[in-house]
Amino acid sequence: MLGTVGSVALYLHSPSAWPFWTGILAGFVFLLLGAVDLEHRLILHIVSLPAAVALGLVRALDPGQGALKTLTGGLAGLVILFGMYLFGLGFSRLIANLRGRPIEEVAFGFGDVVLGGVLGLTVGWPGILVAVVVGIFAAGVFSLALVLVQLMRRRYAAFLAIPYGPFLLLGAAIVLYGGREAFRALASG
Domain boundaries, the chain: 2-188
Q: Where are the alpha helices (DSSP H) in the chain?
A: 2-13, 17-40, 45-61, 66-99, 110-123, 127-152, 165-174, 180-188
Q: CB 15: neighbour CB atoms within 10 A?
A: 9
Name residues whose C-beta falls within 8 Å of residue 95's C-beta, 6 or more positions apart in sequence: 103, 159
Q: Is 109 helix (H, G, I), strand (E, B) or coil?
A: coil
Rounded distance, CA 149 to CA 151, Å? 5
Region 48-55: mean pLDDT is 95
Distances (CA, A) of 114 to 43, 45, 182: 8, 8, 27
Q: In the predicted model, what is the mean pLDDT of the chain?
A: 85
Q: For 91-105, how does the pLDDT look when each residue is reduced to its tens digit (9 = 90+)?
A: 888 888 888 888 777
Give pTM, 2 decimals.
0.86
